[in-house]
Structure 1
């Protein structure tokens, strides 16, 4: 996939508490693939992810009910990964080919706090590109974590849901303290963004 850099319009990021983050997103259908609206949405998501300083962003994080996410990030080895996937399904990776890694994780829709979340260190996602062509994306390390985190979003789950009740409450308190600063930094990045 050849996506590079922020090209579209920056959209508001939905925050924890918004109903769309809790709903299972609708799958992309024939009316979506190849459409100008889908192409524009993907570009807008890349731009929004860039301004928010994210690794990836799901469609419901910009208020759109669609099984889609984009990513633009470096993995643990400094390799940049840029792409998008619609209707992703994660393969079950055999136990002898993966390990569980506990690592800090954050979310653009939960501005501020990071918490340790266990995820497998290898993931294979199968889905489609914007033209409806099949794609297979394999991630290791941080990129694997990203693919799992974003797929969770499409099922209406946040990383907060993988925490104990106590940890979740602490993360939400921290978010309340940090949110305004994070959102102000995003607003400043948007203001400085080349037109």
Structure 2
């Protein structure tokens, strides 16, 4: 540990769980996670805080909000929906399609993460990295349909108990202290992802 000058922990918006607030801020009370994934991220933050205290280790925890872009993992929503719609295969929509997500383009996440490497504030600190704008699931599916020029076959299924109804990042702290400034809105980032995807399958 003594040889580590700085540690960046990749946390997640999932830590906010059942929060009822419109946008999530780093200082709010985390009342209940909704998934094992979110619980492990909170546990990771506690461990980071403890190690920071015990060993004077500089740690920054970054709560990423639904990252997407070229080379995204194929099991995540935008990539999975795109692949299946393109192939004419059905996609699963859990709930009525009104859940909202704050999708953040990979280039903006990289910019924020690099900024965190130079942060010299408290030994342990937490920042949200998101776009701070949301889109409903059904509208995301429509946007992918439009970009591909194909209609989705949608299996409408009951809500999953581990799904958060909303994620939206309050990024005012990251703006102020990291100079974080996301510049890629979903309307620009999604076509970039689709172009990359089409280049992979053709």
Please confirm whether the aligned pair reaches a TM-score higher than 0.5, indicating the same fold.
no
**Given the two structures, how large is their TM-score scaled by the length of structure 1?**
0.26
**Given the two structures, how large is their TM-score scaled by the length of structure 2?**
0.26
Rg comparison, structure with higher value: 2
